[in-house]
Structure 1
């Protein structure tokens, strides 16, 4: 069969991609069309199918997403488009299951495998652009569902980064009110001073910067983040059973090198040792 291309760049790119997969076929120009001719057989058809699936997944899918982001969603920044496409790729790779759970999972391999088998079984010439536009219409329609979720996720991640930077700026300008703080991140959250003395709720509240809760441009958690920002410690020893919880990630991002993470059990061992030597 023959695949026809309007662009020599596209034709050469596909030929190179297939050649890298051990598939060498003829390439020629006829009347302004660039034609890639190949004869898949029973012995190598699976190799063609696999290579063409990879080509669509790694090249054409990203190109299509980039065009949609520019034309439909008006993303002019290449960096922004790259970051959104990266999220889509992670969804396809199974790394963003919390996002793919929001929509039907795309059976990409099945959709592409079926379409490419039809293509290889065709005996005549096929315009590659037409194959993508019409035969893979349902595939790209489903990719759109991932793209919408990826855009929302990207916007939330951008908002989160602005939130983190705003709090870092506040922390940078805040005078230290408590040099060392130990915090057990369980329910209820419990603060301790540098001597491992428990800080009562009234004491913690008394250290709060009232402007942080009333006038700050972003919402700040009043139980943990606001007290720590108000105290602006030089060092925070954080104890938790669940290091992967979102609040821990946020605290690490805000306080960076000021924060040291330990297990909850380590605090009690430390407390007992401190008591024995007091």
Structure 2
């Protein structure tokens, strides 16, 4: 006896066979006595059907018994399938059609940011729809609820029709994720373009002093010394570039970078216990082979303390 049917359009037989097997396996895990449930399929090049059936004589043969469990099981399988196999295509369509991105490298970069958001289990600022539960579970919950309601109305579901007309709330969540990813992509692009501009400016600028020592005392506390280990006063140098740069809305300690560019040292020695800090990496990007990072020299011990003693005091 046929209980439910899934209609599929223009798909390969291997795809139908795989989805049918997933449905069948899920049905076998239902805790129903004398479980006579099975899944079969028919396929042609233009249309295919997956049938959820109850064998004659099984308890489920009564259509009113355990129908809720079977429907919920099918909704679970289809929701999981959509998130795993269809979601990336839905996102790509949003990126290319709704947001009009055409360049393949841009699309792939935005998809990368989307993937980070889709797997993010903590709250993300600007994505309220993702805050109440882990992202994947929430999206699956939205789909399961919609599929279950649709199967309650009609035991036959068209997967293509469902994806086209019945997933507005789910699609809106993906759209917000795509918007967030595009914002991140644009910010990163602007940042990289600005870094490239600074690299060029450093490249064409002659060195004004032989060396500068950037002392990172911790957190956001920095000191810049010259080669004689004296404090550098950037006001003694041409400040035109520094003042222009301070007008930029750049998300890093631009005062440090602008000072270093203004005094233009031939070599920059960075003394820090935290070489992975964003500003340290940014300076390395801008000044490239002019920089060297140190954490255990005499200057480090003088300004940052004895690293070995600090390690011994650490819990």
The alignment's TM-score, normalised by the length of structure 2, stands at 0.66
Residue 65 of structure 1: aligned partner: 91
Give distance in 1, aligned partners of 2:70 and 2:283: 54
> Structure 2 vs 1, CA of residues 31 and 83 (structure 1 numbering), >3 Å: closer, same or farther?
closer
* Kept after mapping to 2: 8 A contact 1:180/1:234: yes
The Cα shift of 1:268 comes to 5.0
Which of 10, 13, 16 is the matching residue for 2:15? 13
1:5-44 to 2 correspondence within 5 Å?
5-9=8-12, 12-13=14-15, 15-16=17-18, 19=21, 23=25, 25-29=39-43, 32-39=46-53
Cα gap change, 1:244 to 1:17, in 2 (>3 Å):
farther
Report the equivalent of 1:4.
Answer: 7
After superposition, the C-alpha distances for 1:70-119 in whole angstroms (9 at most, x for unaligned) are: 2222111122122212212211211785xx21131333232133334456
What RMSD in Å do the two structures reach over aligned CA positions? 4.1
Distance 1:104 1:170 in 2: 41
Q: Of the candidates 174, 194, 205, which is equivalent to residue 235 of structure 2?
A: 205
SS in 2 for 1:199: coil
Aligned pairs for 1:1-278 (under 5 A) are 1-9=4-12, 12-13=14-15, 15-16=17-18, 19=21, 23=25, 25-29=39-43, 32-39=46-53, 51-94=77-120, 97=123, 100-106=124-130, 107-118=138-149, 124-185=155-216, 189-195=222-228, 197-201=229-233, 204-208=234-238, 210-211=240-241, 213-214=243-244, 223-240=255-272, 246-261=278-293, 267=299, 269-270=301-302
Q: Is the 8 A contact 1:205 1:227 kept in 2?
A: no
Unaligned runs of 5+ in 2: 26-37, 55-59, 61-65, 131-137, 306-315
- Alpha-carbon distance in structure 1 between the residues aligned to 2:297 and 2:21: 58
1:45/1:270 CA distance change after superposition, 3 Å? farther
CA offsets 1:156-200 (integer angstroms, 9 cap, x no match): 1111111111111222222223333211246664211234x1234
Deviations 1:39-65 (A, max 9, x none): 599899888666544432233222112
The answer to whether the Cα contact below 8 Å between 1:179 and 1:194 also exists between their aligned partners in 2 is: yes
Select between 135-144 and 121-130 the one with higher mean Cα deviation: 121-130
Does the Cα contact within 8 Å between 1:181 and 1:191 map onto a contact in 2?
Answer: yes
Structure 1: give runs of 5+ residues left out of the alignment: 274-278
Contact preservation (8 Å) 2:16, 2:43: no
Partners in 2 of 1:177 and 1:194 — Cα distance? 12
How far apart in 2 are the matches of 1:136 and 1:39?
26
Q: Deviations over 1:116-166 (max 9, x none)?
A: 445676773211012223332211122212222222221111111111111
Pairs aligned (count): 267
Q: Does the residue aligned with 1:109 lie in a helix, a strand or coil?
A: helix
Whether the 8 Å contact between 2:242 and 2:259 is mirrored in structure 1 is no
Deviation at 1:14, TM superposition (A): 5.7
For 2:172 and 2:156, the matched residues in 1 are separated by 25
